[in-house]
Amino acid sequence: MLTTLIYRSQTDEPWTSAALTDLVDAACLKNIELGVTGILLFNGRVFFQVLEGKENILDLLFNQIRSDFRHHAVVELMRDYTAARRFPDTGMRLFDLRSQDICTVTDEVFGPTGGAREGLPRDDRVFRFMADFITEGCRYLLPPEFRSTCWKMEGREHSFPGPAPVFRQETPCRFALQPIVDPLAGEVVSYEALIRSPSGGSPDALFASLPAERHYHFDLISKVWALARAYGPEMETRTLAVNLLPGSLYTVTGAVRYLRRLLRRYNLRPEQLIIEVTESEIITCFDDFFRVLKQLREVGIGLAIDDFGAGYSGLSLLTKFQPDRIKIDMTLVRDIHLSGAKQAIVMSVIQCCTDLKITIVAEGVETLEEWCWLQSAGIRLFQGFLFSRPQMGSTGIMHWPVRLLNRPGNPGD
Ligand code: C2E
Ligand code: MN
Ligand code: MN
């Protein structure tokens, strides 16, 4: 099966035409040997390459390309399968957009002399990727100040709310707190309370230990321990996010009144509480959910859609109502710096939330590379192991990005 792979990458090197020719000559020989066809476009800052060949061979080659220190920010834009090559099997062809004008290149690539396989439709995705690059360059380029080699994470002591309160009898659950941070401001803006069994077990394990008919009720009343856990001066300027199943709000009578009482007891303003509901849960029971949503709004409690983009309703959910916050699911966050598809989807979520004045949180951020890309794309708030794991105690170490001065990009970025 023939595979087509398109990537782009950025470079700081001057790349004289002689240096480029050397690069292409070497690549050409290698490609012929491997049975790979390559079309390389270069505009002075960005390489754009189409590769066609057997998938396992392309994977090996692409791994080598990724680790080449002469470029960085290598992003896979497209991977697809095809019956026949689009371009003749001549190893590698270069188009240097600095010395060739757009018309010539377009003619050479797409015209009869370009040698592209006859009969290929002009709306072929590969051609459209190429045409866009030739006429417009690339979107979502990483600005130099957000190259991950310009940053490091630094640990600092942080005092979490608490210590956990003492109740008369042993509580049936506990809560860990995970900060939601604005890294460039160096601020914790919010804590998310994550439920644990008394012995520290996961939410799934805790709910599995309860009879199904008690889930909603338990979920709701457990929030007394979340609010108690977060009680303290650290909360004055921050918000507290709690997770709830929508059913815990609409099947339990007086659920919103109960939350309001808890807020008063623990001295929180209603807008300091943010209820996180996952996208998948909302769409299965939208009408019931909408009724309690109105009650929450009346009281002034905030609302976030959790795990947004995890593969359920997508953006269309936002036509029904708009929450205060959207938390981008960690499957979209994971390795976003490497994936053109994830970048395009997250950019469209950012655009949509900007227009609708919805705050975005990127969750599950684990690496500096992911944070650099997301921060440079305009996201301000983050949650993830990179900054802090969920904490049971009242003190812990938090990690903050620190810019390294006078440090150009390093090999391997
Ligand atoms: P969630 O609300 O999306 O919470 C984030 C989960 O991702 C947490 O798992 C957290 O520990 C984990 N996480 C945070 N940062 C990272 C990271 O950088 N990498 C990775 N791999 N994971 C990260 P946890 O605590 O196991 O919670 C799992 C889910 O259980 C939560 O997902 C939430 O949907 C649910 N949950 C938690 N507390 C409650 C609750 O009180 N009621 C209900 N109904 N569900 C809850
Ligand atoms: Mn959550
Ligand atoms: Mn989530």
pLDDT tens column, 105-145: 888 887 765 556 777 777 899 999 999 999 998 888 999 99
Q: Which of 243, 276, 328 to mutate for ligand 1's pocket (most ligand atoms within 8 Å of CB)?
A: 243
pLDDT for 412: 41
pLDDT of the residue at 407: 60
- CA–CA gap between residue 198 and residue 172 (Å, rounded): 6
Going from the Cα of 363 to the center of ligand 3, the distance in angstroms, rounded, reads 7
What are phi and psi for residue 226, nearest 5 degrees? -70, -45
Nearest CA to ligand 1 atom 17: 364
User: Which atom of ligand 1 is least distant from the CA of 222?
Assistant: 41
Q: How many CA atoms lie within 13 A of 212 on its CB side?
A: 0
From the list 196, 114, 210, 145, the residue with the least C-alpha distance to 372 is 145
Atom 10 (ligand 1): residue with closest C-alpha?
390
Closest residue to atom 46 of ligand 1, CA basis = 243
Nearest CA to ligand 1 atom 13: 364
Which residue's CA is the closest to the ligand 1 atom numbered 21?
364
Q: Residue 75's closest CA among 151, 144, 141? A: 141
Q: How far is the CA of 171 from the centre of ligand 1 (A)?
A: 20
Q: Two tokens at 326?
A: 């959207």
CB within 6 Å of ligand 1 — which residues? 178, 194-195, 202-203, 219, 222, 243-245, 276, 278, 306-307, 330, 364-366, 383-385, 390
pLDDT at 76: 98
The tokens describing 179, both together, are 């900060």
Which atom of ligand 1 lies at the shortest distance from residue 327's CA?
3
Q: How high is the pLDDT of residue 314?
A: 76
Query: Which one, of 66, 52, 197, lies nearest residue 115 by Cα?
Result: 52
Mean pLDDT of 360-366: 98
Query: Average pLDDT of 6-22?
Result: 95
Mean pLDDT of 363-388: 98
CA of 141 to the centre of ligand 3 (A): 27
> Rounded CA gap, 46 and 137, in Å?
8
Range 218-225 average pLDDT? 97
At 123 the pLDDT is 85
Confidence of residue 167 (pLDDT cuts 50, 70, 90): low
Smallest-distance ligand from the CA of 176 = 1
d(C-alpha 390, C-alpha 70), whole Å: 39
Rounded to whole angstroms, the Cα distance separating 396 from 157 reads 6
Q: What is the 388 CA–ligand 3 centroid distance (Å)?
A: 15
Please give the Cα distance from 398 to 401 (Å, whole number).
10
Number of CB atoms found within 10 A of residue 356's CB:
11
Residue that wins the pLDDT comparison between 111 and 260: 260
Tokens at 248, concatenated:
């815990």
Cα 372 from Cα 337, distance rounded (Å): 8
Q: What is the pLDDT of residue 113?
A: 58
Which atom of ligand 1 has the smallest separation from the CA of 219? 42
Q: Looking at this protein, which amino acid is placed at residue 255?
A: A
Cα 99 to middle of ligand 2, angstroms: 52
pLDDT score of 285: 87
Ligand 1 atom closest to the Cα of residue 176 is 25
Separation of alpha carbons 219 and 246, rounded Å: 10
Q: What is the mean pLDDT of the chain?
A: 92
Residues with CB under 5 A from ligand 3 (ion): 306-307
pLDDT value, residue 87: 85
For β-strands 46-54 and 2-10, DSSP reports them as antiparallel
Which pLDDT score, from 0 to 100, does residue 89 have?
79
CB 279 within 8 A of CB 243: no
Closest ligand 1 atom to Cα of 203: 30
Residue nearest to atom 30 of ligand 1 (CA): 203
CA nearest to 142, candidates 401, 340, 372, 363:
372
pLDDT for 413 beyond 60: no
Helix (H) or strand (E) holding 176: strand 174-182
Q: 332-355: per-residue pLDDT in tens?
A: 999 999 999 999 999 999 999 999
Q: Is the pLDDT of residue 151 over 90?
A: yes
Report the share of the chain in percent with pLDDT over 90. Answer: 78
Hey, is 118 helix, strand or coil?
coil
Helix, coil or strand: residue 205 = helix
Q: 394 pLDDT exceeds 90?
A: no
pLDDT tens-digit readout, 170-180: 889 999 999 99
The token duo for 352 is: 């949509």
pLDDT average, residue stretch 23-28: 95
Task: Return the structure tokens found at 54.
Answer: 């057997």
Confidence at residue 411, expressed as pLDDT on a 0 to 100 scale: 44
Strands (E), 244-301: 273-278
pLDDT tens digits, one per residue of 42-62: 999 999 999 999 999 999 999
CA distances in angstroms from 12 to 23, 298, 408, listed in the order given: 15, 54, 10
Positive or negative CA dihedral for 283, 288, 294, 297?
Answer: negative
The predicted pLDDT at position 217 comes to 97
Q: What is the pLDDT of residues 78-98, one digit of tens each?
A: 999 998 888 887 899 999 999
What is the tally of helices (H) and strands (E) in the chain? 14, 15
Span 177-197, mean pLDDT? 97
What is the Cα–Cα distance from 57 to 37, expressed in whole angstroms? 12
- Asked if residue 408 has pLDDT above 80, the reply is no
Please give the residue that has the higher pLDDT: either 279 or 398.
398
Distance CA 358, CA 355 (A): 8
DSSP state of 384: S
